[in-house]
Amino acid sequence: MNLPALFFALAVQVTPPPTPPAIYTPPPSPSPSAPASATPLPSESPAPSALTATPAALNLQPRQTQSVSIGNASGPVTASIDVPLATIAVDQNARTLTVTAGAQTGRATITVYDGTGASLQIPLRVALPAATIPATIALRVTGDPVDQAWLQKQLQQAVLKAVQLQQGVAPQSVQIGSYSLPPSLGPGASAGVPVPVHVAGGDRYLDADAQVSVTLENVALDPFAPPLLFYDDDPEKIVQNGVLYRAHVNPGAPARLYYYHQNTADARRLLVLLSAAGAQTSTVQLIDASAGPNIDVMSVGHAVSRDFLTYKPRNQGVVVDVTPGAPLIADDFQVMKPLDGAAGNIGIRIVSGGPVTVTVVAVPAQASAQDVAAFAAGPQLPGDGHHRTGIFNIAAYGTETIAYSTAGPDAQFQYGAASPPLANPPASTGHDYGEYGVMRTLTFEVENPSADPATVYLYERPMGGVVRSSFLVNGALVQVGCARVSNRYQIGPPFAAASGKSQIQVQTMTDGGSNYPLEVGLTTTPPEAVTPAITAADGCFPKPQSTSTPAPGATPPVPMPEPTGRARF
C-alpha cells in the first residue's frame, strides 16, 4: 500500500508542425559552351544531399539542454528560432547545435541554414513532464506465505501512489510495464524488482518514462488478534463532505476498522487516513481488504469479506510509517459516483511508535491535498439516526464450538443478528447488528459412532433475506452464490466423517449488503447443491415471466439480471 539511482529517459510523442514552405533556389545559368538543354557530363559532381538533424525534433523540459547533430552541411551553419523559447549555440567544427530551453513552455520552430543556402526546420516543444517518477521505492509486506497475486497488486499500488502526476493528468495515464516478482518471499526475505513506468502527457505535457527500482521486504511479524472493532456505517449515505468516522489506535491494543458508505448525489472521493497522534513516527502493520466504488453494494461487501478471510490467516499485510504532520492514505476511492458504495476491513497494529488516529473522510472529487487535510481536521459529521457505529470488544467474541453426532439430529448455529458488546460504555454508543467486521470461528466437533464412514454436509440457510457468503472450511475458501429463500444450500464438497471423532473448522464474516441472520450447520441429508440463478423464481431477484405466447419459430425472451444492490446494508 504505501512504499542505486537510475537515469530517467524521456520518450515523447511529437505532433509534427505544419510542413515548412518550399524554398526556391534559382537554377544555375547555362554554360556558354553548351546549350541549356545539354545533358550533364558524367564527370560533373552530384547534387548535395539534403540537410539532416539528429534528433529530428526536440522535446525539452524548461531549462533542459540537448545537442542536435546536423548532417550534410556545407560551409558555415546558422540557426534561428521563431518563438524565443530557447537559446541556440552552434559548433561549426562539430556541426552541432546546443539548444537550451528557457522557463516558458510552448512550441517553436528552429530553422538551420548552411553556406549553400540549404535549410532545415526542427520542431521544438518545451513542456513539463506529465509526472515525477521516483527512481526507488520500498515496499514492506508481511505474510507467511505471501500470495503472488496479492503481492503484485500491492507493488502496483505502491508504484502508482509514488508517481506524482501533474495537474490534469488522469491516473489512467499511468502504465506499468512488465516485471518479474521473486518466486517466493518468506518472512525476513527481500528482493529488488525493476518496474518500468510510462505516463502519457498528451498535448499539455511531455510523456514521462522511468524504471523504478522497488525493494521488497517481508517483515517477520507474528499474527495479531485485535481486541477492538471500529464500526463505521453512520451516516451510511454520504450527503455532505467531512469526517464520517474518527478513532484512535494505541500501542499494544490493535484494532480492526470496518467501514461502509454509499454516495448520494455529487461525485466524491472517500479516504481512510492514518495520522500520528503525537510527535513521533509510528510504524504500523495493516491487513487491508477494501472494495469499491461500485453501485452493486452486495458485490462490494462480498469482496471485502472474501478477501479479508484470505488475508488474515496468512497475516498478509503491509508495513508503513506514519510521520507527524503527514497523514498516510490507507484507502482512496476516487471517484464515487451517485449510488456507488465502498467498504473496507482493515486490521491495524502499531509495531513501534506512538498512537495513530484513523479518520474516514469524504471530500470533493477534485480535492487537493490541502483540501483533504482541511476536511480531515474538521468535526465529525452528524449521524443518520440509525446508530450503526461504535467501538466494540471482540477479544472473546465470535468463537463457538458445536457438537454433532452423525447418529443424532442436525447441528446448527445462527449468527449475524446480534451486536458485539461495546468496548467502553457509556462513552461509546451504537450497535453492530449484523456483526459486520467480526471474524467468526465455528468448530464442529463431529462424532461418528458407526464403524463405517458417514457422509456429512455443511450447509447454510438464509434467515433474514438476500445473502451472499464466503467461508474458510478447514482453511480452504468456499464461496456461496446469492440466496434468498430459506432453504439449505451446500457449502463445499461433502465430508467423509471417519468412525470416532473429528473436527470441521469454519471461519466466516458477514457481507455488507447482505441480510442476516444466517444459519450454518451439519447434516447427513443432502442439501441443495447450488444456489438458484439470480433471476429465477427462488433466486435473489426474481424476474416476472412473460405470459404471452411467442410467435411460431421465435425465441422466448431471456430475463436479464439486475444489479444486486437492493438489500439493506
Average pLDDT of the segment spanning 380-388:
95
CA distances from 477 to 156, 311, 466, 480, 519 (A): 25, 11, 21, 10, 18
For the segment 374-388, the average pLDDT, to the nearest whole number, is 95
For 298, phi then psi, to 5°, come to -65, -40
At 16, the pLDDT band (50, 70, 90 cuts) reads very low
- Lowest mean pLDDT, pick from 21-35, 145-159, 290-304, 469-483: 21-35
pLDDT above 70 (res 424): yes
| DSSP class of 292 | E
Please provide residue 157's backbone torsions phi and psi, each rounded to the nearest 5 degrees.
Answer: -65, -40
Per the CB < 8 A criterion, the answer to whether 490 and 399 are in contact is no
Question: For 311, phi and psi rounded to 5 degrees?
Answer: -75, -45
Q: What share of the chain in percent tops pLDDT 70?
A: 87
pLDDT score of 13: 33
Query: 402 pairs with which residues across the strands?
Result: 444
State what percent of residues in the chain have pLDDT above 90: 83
Coil vs helix vs strand at 300:
helix
68, three cell numbers: 542536435
C-alpha 518/C-alpha 510 separation (Å) is 9
Closest to 483 in 3D by CA, of 530, 419, 432: 530
Could you read off the pLDDT of 448-468 as tens digits, one per residue? 999 999 999 999 999 999 999
> Is residue 59 within 8 Å of residue 125, measured between CB atoms?
yes
Write down the pLDDT at residue 428.
82
pLDDT at 271 over 90: yes
CA-to-CA separations, 558 to 407, 484, 543, in angstroms, rounded: 45, 21, 10
Q: Per the omega criterion (within 30 degrees of 0), is the bond before 227 cis?
A: no
Would you place residue 426 in the very low, low, confident or very high pLDDT band (cuts 50, 70, 90)?
Answer: confident
Task: Summarize pLDDT for 246-261 with one digit per residue, the tens.
Answer: 999 999 999 999 999 9
pLDDT tens figures, 289-348: 999 999 999 999 999 999 999 999 999 999 999 999 999 999 999 889 999 999 999 999
pLDDT at 31 over 50: no
Which amino acid, 185?
A: L
In the predicted structure, residue 66 carries a pLDDT above the cut 60: yes
Q: Cα–chain-centroid distance for residue 1? A: 9
pLDDT at 427: 81
Q: Give the CA angle between residues 81, 83, 85 to the nearest 5°.
A: 90
Q: Mean pLDDT over residues 539-553, rounded?
A: 68
Better-predicted residue by pLDDT, 473 or 561: 473
Question: Strand 399-405 and strand 440-448: pairing?
Answer: parallel
353 pLDDT higher than 50: yes
Q: What secondary structure does DSSP assign to 507-524, as a single string?
A: EE-PPTT--S-EEEEEES
Query: Which distant-in-sequence residues (6+ apart) come within 8 Å of 183 by Cβ?
Result: none
pLDDT at residue number 65: 98
Yes or no: say if 150 and 160 are a contact pair by the CB < 8 Å rule.
no
Q: What is the per-residue pLDDT for 552? A: 53
Is residue 28's pLDDT more than 70? Answer: no
List helix spans (H) across 363-508. Answer: 369-376
Tell me the pairing of strands 136-142 and 208-218. Answer: parallel
**Residue 317 in contact with residue 256, Cβ under 8 Å?**
no
Residue (of 60, 69, 144, 152) closest to 104 by Cα position? 60
Tens of pLDDT, residues 155-180: 999 999 999 999 999 989 999 999 99
Task: Please count the CA atoms within 13 angstroms of the CA of 494 that sit on its side-chain side.
Answer: 15
Q: What pLDDT does 545 receive?
A: 60
**Strand pairing partners for 256?**
229, 347
Mean pLDDT, the chain, integer: 89
Q: How confident is the model at residue 550 (pLDDT cuts 50, 70, 90)?
A: low
Q: Round to whole Å and give the CA distance between 435 and 200.
A: 45
How many residues in total does the chain contain?
569
Confidence label for 547 from pLDDT (cuts 50, 70 and 90)? low
DSSP three-state, residue 298: helix
Please, which residues bridge with residue 472 across strands?
477, 507
The residue among 44 and 104 whose pLDDT is bigger is: 104
| pLDDT, position 29 | 38
pLDDT of residue 546: 54
Q: How far apart are the C-alpha atoms of 475 and 457, rounded to whole Å?
A: 17
Confidence at residue 251, expressed as pLDDT on a 0 to 100 scale: 97
Closest CA to 199 of 365, 9, 58, 368: 9
Residue written as grid cell 490467516: 313
Positive or negative: CA dihedral 350, 355, 356, 359 = positive
Given a cut of 50, whether residue 205 has pLDDT beyond it is yes
Bridge partners, 100 (sequence order): 65, 87
Lowest-pLDDT range, 2-16, 153-167, 417-431?
Answer: 2-16
CA distance linking residue 340 with residue 79, whole number of Å: 58
Say how far apart CA 376 and CA 372 lie, in whole Å.
6
Q: Taking Cα atoms as reference points, which of 138, 140, 136 lies closest to residue 319?
A: 140
Residues 209-219 have a mean pLDDT of 98
Average pLDDT over residues 171-198: 96
Tens of pLDDT, residue by residue over 219-255, are: 999 999 999 999 999 999 999 999 999 999 999 999 9
- Residue 142 burial by CB count (10 A; 0-12/13-18/19+): exposed, middle or buried? buried
Q: What is the pLDDT of residue 269?
A: 96
- Looking at this protein, which amino acid is placed at residue 311? Y
167 vs 97, which has greater pLDDT? 97
pLDDT in the model for residue 466: 97
- For residue 131, what is its C-alpha cell? 509526472
CA 533/CA 273 separation, integer angstroms? 40
Q: Which pLDDT score is estimated for 551?
A: 53
